[in-house]
Amino acid sequence: MIGAIKIKDGLFIGDEFAAQDLEFVVANKVTHVINCAGKQIPNHWEPIGVSYLTFFWLDQDNQIVLDVKDEASNAIFDFIEEAHSATESVLVHSVRGQSRATCALAAYIMKRYRWSLLKTLEFLNSRRPDLEIRATFIHQLSAYETRLQGQRDAPGITSKWDEISTFDNQGKKTGAKMLENEELVLRNTFVNAQMGPLADFRGHMNDHSL
């Protein structure tokens, strides 16, 4: 158990210990929680007014996390954006915070910043080097990336760290400067963390035997 890890301001990933750590919730203004393991972990703080988005996913190969209609990914995106618009924090957790929660968080980051899957996984790995995302979940993220790329009237996906988006997720210039500054902070965070090796996710992404 490691508790919660900060991904960026107002956004944390955690395990079942973080899910029941009231001191962390209060100290970090966590008003929204995405529970990716609802069959295993109860919504501990719902009685005191914390908002929950609960998914009853299992950490197994046949689990669909990102459906082709993007209902789950859109719900995740809207839930996090709602909290951030009120300057409140979000915890995304599963049992260990290494697979299901990471998949959900990756989908949000890909849509928010128009990042490629590999770029997103590189960033998340820099924040938490012990990721263990199931290969089938990575395949679902890859399919999600393809759907993002196919969106009409939306900016393209960036795959390099010297590329910065100048549009918001709707392809409009509204709020572009704020989003650009936010992305620059994350880019600099990633670059500064590159003292250690990155996990190689390419093998999972190219393995079509599953």
CATH code for the domain in which residue 76 is found: 3.90.190.10
Say what the pLDDT of residue 209 is. 45
Residue 29 has pLDDT above 50, yes or no: yes
pLDDT of 44-93, one tens digit each?
999 999 999 999 999 999 999 999 999 999 999 999 999 999 999 999 99
Enter the tokens of residue 47. Answer: 């009685």
Of residues 67 and 177, the one with the higher pLDDT is: 67
Write out the residue range of the structural domain in which residue 89 sits: 4-206
CB distance 98 to 134 below 8 Å:
no
CA 105 → CA 44, 89, 92, 157, distances in Å?
A: 20, 14, 7, 17
pTM comes to 0.85
As a whole number, mean pLDDT of residues 1-13 equals 90
Say what the pLDDT of residue 192 is. 79
Question: With pLDDT > 70 as the criterion, what percentage of the chain qualifies?
Answer: 85
Residue 135 has pLDDT above 60, yes or no: yes
Judged by average pLDDT, the poorest of 100-104, 126-130, 134-138 is 126-130
Identify the CA nearest to 77 among candidates 59, 53, 56.
53
Residue 173 has pLDDT above 50, yes or no: no
Of residues 148 and 173, the one with the higher pLDDT is: 148
Q: How many domains does the chain have?
A: 1
